[in-house]
Amino acid sequence: MLRLRSLLGSTSRTSLQAEAVTPATTRRGFLAACACCAAGALATRFAAAQVTPGAASGLHRRLDAAASAIESRMIGWRRDIHANPELGNQEHRTAALVAAHLRRLGFEVREGVGATGVVAVLRGGAGDGPTVALRADMDALPVQEPEGLSFASRRRATWDGAEVPVMHACGHDCHVAILMAAAEVLVQHRADLRGTAVLLFQPAEEGLPGGEIGGARRMLAEGAFEAPKPDMVFGLHVLTSMTTGQIAYRPGPAHASSDTFRITVRGRQAHGAMPWDGVDPVVIAGQIVTALQTIQSRQVDVNDPSVLTIGTIHGGARHNIVPDRVEMSGTLRTYDEGRRAFMQRRVTTLAESVAQGMDGAAEVVWEPGGYAALVNDPALADRIAPSLARVTGRDGLRINPRHTASEDFAFLAQQAPGLFFWVGVTPPGQDPARAAPNHSPRFTVDEAGPLVGLRAMLHLVADATGSGVA
- Residues annotated catalytic, as ranges: 371, 447
CB-count burial class (<10 Å; 0-12, 13-18, 19+) for 153: buried
Cα-atom radius of gyration of the chain, to the nearest Å? 24
Cβ neighbour number for residue 394 with a 10 Å cutoff: 14
**Alpha carbons 391 and 398: distance in angstroms, whole number:** 12
**Alpha carbons 71 and 427: distance in angstroms, whole number:** 17
| Beta pairing, strands 15-18 & 443-446 | antiparallel
C-beta separation of 18 from 149 below 8 A: yes
CB-count burial class (<10 Å; 0-12, 13-18, 19+) for 36: buried
Q: Which residues pair with 166 in a beta bridge?
A: none
Q: Which amino acid is at 315?
A: G
Q: Which amino acid is at 5?
A: R
Closest CA to 305 of 297, 294, 313: 297
**Alpha carbons 65 and 56: distance in angstroms, whole number:** 13
**Alpha carbons 103 and 378: distance in angstroms, whole number:** 35
